[in-house]
């Protein structure tokens, strides 16, 4: 059986780490370099860092700060936020980022992504699918830039894998983000049954049981943790945290 990955997903606002609830109300949780050093000691599988403001504020990734973070990380390091051009990808790979996570660029300029995949390989690009349930209708891909994504979730996932050649998907439930109530297992299973590339489940993890279910019942290849990675418990203080892998192994 392939190793199931558990990945801290850190949100960065341009100055420090924050945590959101349903993509709103970011709360400061600490310094990214300090967090990365702690995760080194805890021997985490991978690390994801998302700059949640870069694209919204129409600014480039802060390559100097990202280089500092990547140099401290002793594990595979993925970054997303503000990546718009082929040169942005090239700079990130050069400074030590192993995977670049794309989201709004998928709608804005998919040809850039195709070129990067051709030159660096499918494994170097992860597509993040933000999704939520609207007031009326079914759960669908969501876009902060206001574009209507004219795909169902499964159609979108297949477009990313087959048409753009992306090597991994990250499924981010907006409705579950920061709630500690568990992943969206229904959507995770739905996407896993429709694509043949690895899937990272993200949004809502609050317990070891949630991790076990998403990894061994829906059979996701990886699970990202947000609140569990930066808080001691729900409603309690900041504590850079990582679950004991022994407790997450399938029984």
Q: Which of 88, 130, 177, 184 is catalytic?
A: 130
Indicate the domain borders of the chain.
Answer: 5-244
Q: What is the pLDDT of residue 65?
A: 96
87 catalytic residue (yes or no): no
Give the torsion through C-alpha atoms of 210, 213, 215, 217, to 10 deg. -160
CB distance 61 to 88 below 8 Å: yes
CA separation (Å) from 31 to 28, 34, 37, 223, 238? 9, 6, 10, 23, 11
Q: What is the pLDDT of residue 97?
A: 98
> Which among 56, 175, 50, 166 is positioned nearest to 116, based on CA atoms?
166
- State how far the Cα of 169 lies from the Cα of 165, in Å rounded to an integer: 11
Q: What is the pLDDT of residue 143?
A: 79
Q: What angle do CA 121, 122, 126 make, to 5 degrees?
A: 125
How far apart are the two ends of the chain, measured CA to CA in Å? 13
Give the torsion through C-alpha atoms of 232, 238, 242, 246, to 10 deg. -10
CATH of 5-244, one of 3.40.50.880, 3.40.50.10880, 3.20.20.70, 3.40.50.1980: 3.20.20.70
CB distance 169 to 200 below 8 Å: yes
Q: What is the pLDDT of residue 1?
A: 47
Reading the chain (251 residues) residue by residue, the pLDDT tens digits are: 467 999 999 999 999 999 999 999 999 999 999 999 999 999 898 999 999 999 888 899 999 999 999 999 999 999 999 999 999 999 999 999 999 999 999 999 999 999 999 999 999 999 999 999 988 888 999 877 656 778 999 999 999 999 999 999 999 999 999 999 999 999 999 999 999 999 999 999 999 999 999 999 999 999 999 999 999 888 777 888 898 878 887 76
- State how far the Cα of 113 lies from the Cα of 122, in Å rounded to an integer: 10
Q: What is the pLDDT of residue 146?
A: 55
Q: What is the pLDDT of residue 168?
A: 98
Q: What is the pLDDT of residue 251?
A: 62
């Amino acid at each position: 059986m392939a190793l199931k990955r558990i990945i801290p997903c850190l949100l960065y606002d341009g100055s420090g780490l924050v945590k959101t609830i349903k993509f709103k109300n970011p709360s400061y949780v600490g310094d990214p370099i300090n967090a990365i050093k702690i995760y080194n000691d805890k021997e985490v599988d991978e690390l994801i860092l998302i700059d949640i403001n870069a694209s919204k504020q129409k600014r480039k990734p802060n390559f100097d700060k990202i280089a500092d973070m990547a140099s401290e990380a002793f594990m595979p390091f993925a970054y997303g936020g503000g990546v718009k051009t082929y040169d942005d990808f090239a700079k990130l790979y050069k400074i030590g980022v192993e995977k670049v996570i794309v989201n709004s660029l998928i709608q804005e300029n998919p040809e850039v992504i195709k070129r990067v995949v051709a030159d660096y390989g499918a494994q170097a690009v992860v597509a993040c699918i933000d999704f939520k349930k609207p007031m009326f209708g079914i759960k669908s891909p969501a876009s902060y830039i206001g574009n209507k994504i004219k795909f169902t979730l499964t159609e979108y996932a297949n477009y990313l894998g087959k048409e753009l050649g992306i090597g991994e998907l990250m499924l981010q439930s907006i409705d579950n983000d920061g709630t500690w109530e568990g992943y969206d297992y229904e959507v995770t299973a739905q996407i896993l049954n429709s694509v043949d590339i690895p899937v990272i489940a993200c949004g809502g993890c609050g317990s070891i049981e949630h991790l076990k279910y998403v990894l061994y019942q829906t059979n996701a290849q990886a699970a990202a943790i947000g609140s569990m990675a930066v808080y001691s418990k729900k409603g309690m203080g900041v504590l850079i945290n990582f679950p004991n892998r022994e407790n997450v192994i399938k029984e």
